[in-house]
Amino acid sequence: MPADFWDTHAHLHDERFAADLPVVLERARQSALQGIIEVAVDVQTSHEAVRLARERRGFVWAAVGIHPHNAAALAPDGSWLKELARLAKEDETVAIGEIGLDFYRNLAPREAQAAAFRAQLRLAGELGKPAIIHSRAALAEVLALFAEEGTGVRAVLHCFSGDESALRQAIGLGLYVSFAGPLTFPNANALRSLAAQTPGDRLLLETDSPYMAPEPYRGRRNEPAYVRFVAEALARARGVSLEEISAQTCRNVESFFAFPG
């Protein structure tokens, strides 16, 4: 029997899926995906995520939030946060995300990124929804801010790329850790060793489609069906069967995301 997986982080709103999204979703089903979390990056894609989750009920679920790249465009009156809160209360919305800090590309001023991250972590806490955290060249700052604002918030570091001490700190803060395509890259031995050290009940799998395509599709458009390659790399890294990775990560999806009762 083929093993089942979840893609816990995809951007199906990306224009690269505009022409063939139904085909992409069908391939995901054929590849034994149990579900996909469609992750928004601004207010508009948050609306789109909820809409898509409604159309594909039970297969696609929504995460609503403002990516740090888009933190500079937010109205100072906070109307965006009210809009997000409204969308976050929908049944289809199982997480707040993606939120966080990106000091690599610095597309928004750092203070604006931090303010948006803080406000959305609070929202997650108020609504009892988990948070999907993006961190690039900012892991120490992300962990410090989470330690301040994230009390009681279930959260995942998506597309983890930190070192061993950051991993230990994240686990100590109660965070989940999600691995993506880079786990399959030939030169990623250090990352695979961290994936092997991560406690089993904190592991999630994702594609970050259309970005981060795993081997053997590296450099091409990524899609949810390819989460299997990440799962295979994780199984090899941990020295366990693919079935065990499937069972463990599906259990973690159930305990992490806020599915409607």
Tell me whether residue 134 or residue 154 sits nearer to Zn ion (CB atom).
134
Nearest residue relative to Zn ion (C-beta):
134
Length of the chain: 261
Distance CA 66, CA 204 (A): 21
Is the separation of the CB atoms in 184 and 230 below 8 Å?
A: yes
Q: Shortest gap between Cβ of 109 and Zn ion (angstroms)? A: 18
Residues that bind Zn ion (rule: CB under 5 A) add up to a total of 2
Q: What's the sign of the alpha-carbon dihedral 75, 99, 251, 59?
A: positive
| Residue 16 one-letter amino acid | R
Is residue 38 helix, strand or coil?
strand
Q: x/- contact string, 114-153, with Zn ion (CB under 5 A)? A: --------------------x-------------------
Q: Shortest gap between Cβ of 180 and Zn ion (angstroms)? A: 9
Identify which of 61, 57, 45 has the alpha carbon closest to the alpha carbon of residue 258.
Answer: 61
Tell me whether residue 93 or residue 238 sits nearer to Zn ion (CB atom).
93
Strands, sheet with 155-157, edge to edge from the N-terminal-most edge strand: 5-10, 33-39, 60-64, 93-102, 131-136, 155-157, 176-179, 203-205
Q: Shortest gap between Cβ of 158 and Zn ion (angstroms)? A: 6
Q: x/- contact string, 77-116, with Zn ion (CB under 5 A)? A: ----------------------------------------
Is the separation of the CB atoms in 52 and 93 below 8 Å?
A: no
Q: x/- contact string, 183-222, with Zn ion (CB under 5 A)? A: -------------------------x--------------
* H helical segments located in the chain: 21-30, 43-55, 79-88, 110-127, 139-149, 164-172, 189-197, 227-238, 242-256
Q: Shortest gap between Cβ of 128 and Zn ion (angstroms)? A: 23
Distance CA 120, CA 200 (A): 27
Q: Shortest gap between Cβ of 136 and Zn ion (angstroms)? A: 7
**H or E stretch including 156?**
strand 155-157
176 alpha-carbon distance from chain centroid: 10
Q: Shortest gap between Cβ of 247 and Zn ion (angstroms)? A: 25
Tally of CB atoms within 10 A around 126:
11
Q: Shortest gap between Cβ of 38 and Zn ion (angstroms)? A: 10
Asked whether position 69 contacts Zn ion by CB under 5 A, the answer is: no
**In the Cβ-directed half-sphere of 151, how many Cα atoms lie within 13 Å?**
2
Q: Shortest gap between Cβ of 249 and Zn ion (angstroms)? A: 18
Tell me whether residue 208 or residue 215 sits nearer to Zn ion (CB atom).
208
Q: x/- contact string, 12-51, with Zn ion (CB under 5 A)? A: ----------------------------------------
Tell me whether residue 38 or residue 208 sits nearer to Zn ion (CB atom).
208
Tell me whether residue 3 or residue 161 sits nearer to Zn ion (CB atom).
161
Residues that bind Zn ion (CB under 5 A): 134, 208
